[in-house]
Amino acid sequence: MIKLGLILVTLLFAATSYGAQQEETYRGMDLNKNFGIQFEVCTLRDGKSMAGVDRLNSKIAKVMNEINSQGSVLRMKPFYSHGSTSNPGPDFIDLIVGPMDELGVIWTDFLASDDGPKVYSEFQNAAQCHNKLAYGVPKLVKIDEMMSTDERLITLNWCTPKAGISMAQLKAKHASWLAANEDSFKAASWSVLVPRQGAGNAQGKYAHMNVFTSIKQMFANEEWIANGGGSAGLSDYYSSYADCDGDSSFTAEYIYKPSN
DSSP state of 245: -
Backbone angles phi, psi at 134, to 5 degrees: -145, 165
Tell me whether residue 241 is in a domain: yes
The pLDDT of residue 17 is above 60: no
Average pLDDT over residues 5-18: 32
The pLDDT of residue 21 is above 50: no
Tell me which of 133 and 7 has the higher pLDDT.
133
Tell me whether residue 168 is in a domain: yes
Tell me whether residue 159 is in a domain: yes
Question: Are the CB atoms for 150 and 257 separated by under 8 Å?
Answer: yes
What is the distance between the terminal CA atoms of the chain, rounded to a whole angstrom? 22
The pLDDT of residue 2 is above 80: no
Its domain, for residue 137, covers 25-256
pLDDT, tens only, 71-90 = 999 999 999 999 888 888 99
CB atoms closer than 10 angstroms to residue 21 = 7
Tell me whether residue 143 is in a domain: yes
Confidence band (pLDDT; 50, 70, 90) for 29? confident
Confidence band (pLDDT; 50, 70, 90) for 140? very high
Tell me whether residue 228 is in a domain: yes
Tell me which of 40 and 32 has the higher pLDDT.
40
- CATH code, 197: 3.30.70.100
The pLDDT of residue 260 is above 80: no
3-state secondary structure 108-170: HHHHHCCCHHHHHHHHHHHEEEEEEEEEEEEEEECHHHHHHCCCEEEEEEEEEECCCCCHHHH
Q: Could you give the CA distance from residue 221 to residue 122 in angstroms, rounded to a whole number?
A: 39
The pLDDT of residue 224 is above 50: yes
Considering its fold, how many domains does the chain have in total? Answer: 1
The pLDDT of residue 18 is above 90: no
Confidence band (pLDDT; 50, 70, 90) for 26? confident
Q: Across all residues in the chain, what is the average pLDDT?
A: 90
Which pLDDT score, from 0 to 100, does residue 3 have?
36
Confidence band (pLDDT; 50, 70, 90) for 23? low
The pLDDT of residue 173 is above 70: yes
Tell me whether residue 188 is in a domain: yes
